[in-house]
Structure 1
Amino acid sequence: MFRQDAARWVIPSQFADPASLTTVQMLKLLYRYVALRAMAWFRLATWFQENKIPLAGPIYRWILFRFGLEINGYIEGGLYIAHPSGTVISVRHMGRNCSVIAAVTIGMRNTWAFPDIGNNVFIGAGARVLGDITVGNDVKIGANAVVIKDVPDGATVVGVPGKVIEIREAEPAPVGLEQ
């Protein structure tokens, strides 16, 4: 899954096929992008957790301390976090190729219930996605929107509370990231 995360940081003109990154290219991306380093630590912690190795907890705390990113839940490959500091991602499930900009909060509202986020979802700066809700595939959530109700596939949501202002047809996945 980390290879998919790294592929989201590639400028398409630099590589013919972002999905075929070499190890050296991935290391260069890790050196250049702090947020990608946070994702590398997250993927490592997730691997430890899945394999019952008791190092996941300290790594999650390290991610929070070092990068200011609180992240947990089942997150598929291709997550792009532009600015991790001040971002909280606590999901039941997050699909492929999602983008989170800056200072976003995704998590509980009043109860121990977390959102389900679909594939190819864009979440703008300062947005909040809260509670036991489902956000469909190919959704765009505007900056500072507060989403507390289910969102259908292809919707654009803005405002406080979040309102659907448009529903689009599904967009094709970015080149090299289809699955």
Structure 2
Amino acid sequence: MLYNTCRELEGKYIDYLPVIGEKKVVPVGPLVQGIVDDENEHSEIIQWLDNKGEYSTLFVSFGSEYFVSKEEIEEIAHGLELSMVNFIWVVRFPNGEKVELEEALPKGFVDRLGERGLVVDGWAPQARILTHSSIGGFVSHCGWNSVLEGLKFGVPIVAIPMQWRRLVWLWRSTETSMEDSTETR
């Protein structure tokens, strides 16, 4: 099995996985996908960034697997508005959930922003955005790929690990099972 990790970060687990899975584990990473450069796709986002000064814009995205609650959306929106910093914010809703972006945001939020903020509904080309010269920081949920991309492209990360309780539980469960040799799934 090939894993997008390295022994320096997860050596203990790399050694443990073959014991429970009876398959050889080969760490091949960390790997970061290259930038797929389709200039026409999402060009309005890149054009918006082109009008911002160097390192003047914050990129806010919480990945493809975590969806912020209505309350979290409101708090993030208020924080971004009060910061007076340029930002691009990607907001995603679970598949099948019919939510209008304007309804999820605080009333009048988009109008008050003017050209200072861009709110994107659904998906944005994260790697292309992170390589843009206007990006000075990345507010991230700390997913593996997001952290690697932030590091690769030299963008400082404001870490907001959205599923930290789950990670702590998994870490504790794995530590316990490794100590007593029981298998945890």
Under TM normalisation by the shorter chain, which class is it? Answer: under 0.3
Rg comparison, structure with higher value: 2
* Structure number having the greater strand percentage: 1
Larger fraction in helix: 2
Q: Which has the higher contact order (CA 8 A, sep 6+)?
A: 2
Question: Please, what TM-score do these two structures have when normalized by structure 2?
Answer: 0.22
- TM-score where L is the length of structure 1: 0.23
